Structure 1
């Protein structure tokens, strides 16, 4: 019953994810991508960082690592998969979720705390929140702007696959509350299955009470949800 955290060359949030999950009582281990996914993995984290130096496009090279075929197969079998920041880029590039993450509208690396509005409370990743609740989670990215064509975004909206949106402290969405220019303030989305999600903010950096807010705990608790089978 162990969550596998996939380490690529250039990953730098894998240990943060391991520490956060362990703090929540969730067994987790770091797995080097060339070693493949363990047969008994009960969950997968694609962590943040700069896999392969973000060459070509952020996440593009890691998405073509053989382990991602195993991750997609596991996701199809219902194993929960969470991509965070660079892991979200890898997730989109590998087809786990719709859309893509590209250069921030500001063309700058941005590292700050942001407010997120919970769009649904009936998924493994949001079951510990209320719909419409505003949580505080940090971001740290240069290519975090979520992009997708309008028709596909409309489908995501209709299917309820938008998990989080950037907002102000009152839950209102606006350009001023959108740190990177993401379309429709989207910060996180679901894959074809609700057990698969990617998001640009870092819940593992908002989990340990000794270092700041703990609003990210509920997201990581998706790995212990009965809905994900873990």
Structure 2
């Protein structure tokens, strides 16, 4: 397995993700410049957090037109894994790989914190190292992390079990006070209908090394790696 991490002008989490995949998990990893359209050697594409193209116009609006993202669309359409983290989630909605949109936080403030999250599914490669309804803790850092979609889209996400992570309290209960940014249905992460494209606002790469005080995030990468080893 080989990871490819898309690097845009303004990306600031690409090296953090590479540290997890290359240094902690010892998996071949390539940083893919946004002008590069060749992903033929890549098994998993990661669209990292940051401020691609300075977040001009709106988050992810310019990144969607990059050569690397056009190649990522083709990669996903072949059923191969793609994950977008924070700004990467915003970009995946802009290119249409995931439904909905990420808009300004409810209080219009940038949020940087560690938050509890309820795991809603554990049957996908991404999530298989977690237990359904388990509460994990991951960092968030965003100004436009409020997930929004129309009622029909939200119903489809619920009916198809495409919601993978929800903001919650530490005991797993969900109410308005456990929602840091106003996301509809408390959504923190979703997948596409096929399950191979994941978008999430929390940063699993920032909770992967014990020195940072938590390792709930590395299990997401380990789950995908375990699936690849089992299929080999």
**TM tier, shorter chain?**
over 0.9
Q: Secondary structure at the match of 1:165?
A: strand
Q: Runs of 5+ in structure 1 lacking a partner?
A: none
Q: Which residue of 1 aligns with 2:14?
A: 14
- Tell me the equivalent position of 1:197: 198
The offset of 1:227, in angstroms, is 6.6
Runs of 4+ with >4 A deviation: 227-230
What TM-score does the superposition give when structure 2 sets the normalisation length? Answer: 0.95
2:104 is matched with 103
Partner residue, 1:139: 140
User: Which residue of structure 1 aligns with residue 173 of structure 2?
Assistant: 172
User: In the TM superposition, what is the alpha-carbon distance from 1:192 to its structure 2 partner?
Assistant: 2.9
**TM-score, normalisation: structure 1:** 0.96
Q: Counterpart of 2:164 in 1: which secondary structure?
A: strand
2:163 is equivalent to residue 156 of structure 1? no
Greater displacement, 19-28 / 57-66 = 19-28
Task: Give the 5 Å matches for 1:5-154.
Answer: 5-22=5-22, 23-154=24-155
Please give the per-residue CA displacement for 1:8-51, whole angstroms capped at 9, x wherever unaligned. 11000000000011212322121101122331101100000000
SS in structure 2 opposite 1:44?
A: strand
1:210-229 aligned at under 5 Å gives the runs 210-226=211-227
**1:78 positional shift:** 1.8
Judge which range, 24-33 or 10-19, deviates more.
24-33
Report the Cα distance in structure 2 between the residues aligned to 1:217 and 1:37, rounded to whole angstroms.
27
Matched positions, count: 230
Kindly indicate whether the alpha-carbon contact (under 8 Å) linking 2:137 and 2:216 is maintained by their aligned counterparts in 1: yes
Q: Which runs of 5+ in 2 are unaligned?
A: none
